[in-house]
Amino acid sequence: MAQETLLKGRVLSFTASPFEGEPEDAVRIDEAVLLSGGTIAAVGNHDALRAAHPQADLVDHGERLILAGFVDAHVHYPQTAMIASWGKRLIDWLNSYTFPEEMKFASPDYAAEIAGRYLDLTAAHGTTTMCSFCTIHPESVEAFFAAAQARGQRVVAGKTCMDRNAPEGLRDTAQTAYEQSRALLQRWHGLDRISYAITPRFSPTSTPEQLEAMGALWSENPDCLMQTHLSEQTDEIEWVRGLFPDARDYLDTYESFGLLGGNGLYGHAIHLEPRERDRLREVGGALVHCPTSNTFIGSGLFDMAGLMAEGQRIGLATDTGGGSSFSMLRTMAAAYEIGQLRGVPLHSAQLLWLATVGSAHALRMGHLIGNIAPGMEADLVVLDLASTPAISQRSDMASDLWEAVFPTIMMGDDRAVTEVWIGGRRKVF
């Protein structure tokens, strides 16, 4: 019989989307959650669960908040060491910082070092699943998946494909991109808690031939996710227009090569044309909001309210290392701030939903992760809502749970993360 653990605290789960109706009505608060092996066995009244499972190990978290582990829907783990690099627009930033760092991932040892460092840093911030770009080097994918497998962690990642507009040491070809991606996919996809994502970086760094090859690979493996970037900055869009003069818009550079679909993840998606919005909604592709990155690199303000009202699928992400923090709490705070700038502030329930259920659904994994319900995988984070003196003095004045949670969203960091469970195992830091 699997070992059982009973976690007592304020257990937060979602019964609906807080973007539909009153946000508070989408949330359920229970007293305890029972873990059995790597899954959630039950959620409910503490006394009843304790009576039914007297042998379960009890962990009493008092008034702390227990919720699903955070899901980061768009990251670049190879950019871990160069996070918070000063200034510059996207294209200059890539050339000055990103590409030189990514060159180092030809070394399996360096890739393994950064993969382990990244997974430990993000777990300390309460993130239990992420979808990552690697580099063009197969070694970078192998290292990331091996590190995640050793931790029992659910992750998505793929070899980043680029065959132009990048340094010589970071270019592959249409053929090698296809062959190496296919080999990695066949080796890792569906192994333990690992999923492969077909990963053209973005249209400017792939020739039409490479985009066509990636589209062919996706059509051969339609259950896989495909991740890329879309309409992050206005000068990037102009660059794409020059490279693809016959395309109707940026999205068409993917659509015409078979890279638009319901299992697609389109990072940033800030400056979308009406046709692009319509097509993304029609096919059910996921848009990934990267607020700290969008402000750090000066990309623009994501239209959360408008896109949600249209029925788009939206996840939330740090975009490490364009994003300036490993923390999904800080990412939620930035999403709130961008909402304010657009005149539509987000409720705490909406922010937590985006960082858990929303991102899980963006990854087509909402049946496995992102919420607390019987049968789901036991990835959890426990938050101390009084983790610093500044947060504590504000939460002490709270008249309800949402007033207590909001200061942690706005000012919290890894000090607020009391405990993390990955696959039913407590993470030790």
Number of domains in the chain: 2
**Which one of 338, 362, 386 terminates a domain?**
362
Please state the rounded mean pLDDT for residues 28-49.
97
In a 13 Å sphere around the CA of 283, the CA atoms on its Cβ side amount to: 20
CB 170 within 8 A of CB 102: yes
For the segment 43-64, what is each residue's pLDDT rounded down to a tens digit?
999 999 999 999 999 999 999 9
> Domain check: are 60 and 76 in the same one?
no
pTM comes to: 0.97
> Domain check: are 204 and 263 in the same one?
yes
pLDDT recorded at residue 232: 96
> Domain check: are 293 and 312 in the same one?
yes
Query: CATH number of the domain that 52 lies in?
Result: 2.30.40.10
pLDDT band at 344 (very low <50, low <70, confident <90, very high): very high
Amino acid at 88: K
Please state the rounded mean pLDDT for residues 308-325.
94
Degrees (nearest 5) of the Cα angle 156, 250, 73? 20
Beta strands 27-36; 39-44: pairing state: antiparallel
**Which one of 324, 345, 362 terminates a domain?**
362
pLDDT recorded at residue 94: 79
pLDDT recorded at residue 406: 97
pLDDT recorded at residue 92: 78
> Domain check: are 64 and 74 in the same one?
no
Please state the rounded mean pLDDT for residues 349-359.
98
> Domain check: are 286 and 166 in the same one?
yes
pLDDT above 70 covers a percentage of the chain that reads 99
Q: What are the structure tokens assigned to 419, written together?
A: 């405990």
CB 368 within 8 A of CB 377: yes
> Domain check: are 159 and 283 in the same one?
yes
> Domain check: are 262 and 350 in the same one?
yes
For the segment 365-408, what is each residue's pLDDT rounded down to a tens digit?
999 999 999 999 999 999 999 999 999 999 999 999 999 999 99
Query: CATH number of the domain that 299 lies in?
Result: 3.20.20.140
> Domain check: are 112 and 204 in the same one?
yes
> Domain check: are 57 and 94 in the same one?
no
pLDDT recorded at residue 83: 86
> Domain check: are 232 and 120 in the same one?
yes
Please state the rounded mean pLDDT for residues 38-45.
98
CB 225 within 8 A of CB 267: no
Domain ranges, residue 276: 70-362
pLDDT band at 100 (very low <50, low <70, confident <90, very high): confident
Q: How far apart are CA 272 and CA 234, in angstroms?
A: 10
**Which one of 362, 388, 406 terminates a domain?**
362
Amino acid at 423: G
Please state the rounded mean pLDDT for residues 91-118.
90
C-alpha torsion angle, residues 290, 386, 153, 334 (rounded to 10): 0
- On the question of a cis peptide bond just before residue 321, with omega within 30 degrees of 0, the verdict is yes
Number of residues in the chain: 429
Separation of CA 329 from chain center: 12
pLDDT recorded at residue 55: 96
Please state the rounded mean pLDDT for residues 221-225.
98
- Quote the longest CA-to-CA distance of the chain: 68
| Mean pLDDT value across the chain | 96
> Domain check: are 283 and 316 in the same one?
yes
Please state the rounded mean pLDDT for residues 335-355.
97
> Domain check: are 170 and 108 in the same one?
yes
Of the candidates 318, 321, 350, the one whose C-alpha atom is nearest the C-alpha of residue 129 is 318
Q: How far apart are CA 3 and CA 52, in angstroms?
A: 14
- pLDDT at residue 85 greater than cutoff 80: no
For the segment 108-124, what is each residue's pLDDT rounded down to a tens digit?
999 999 999 999 999 99
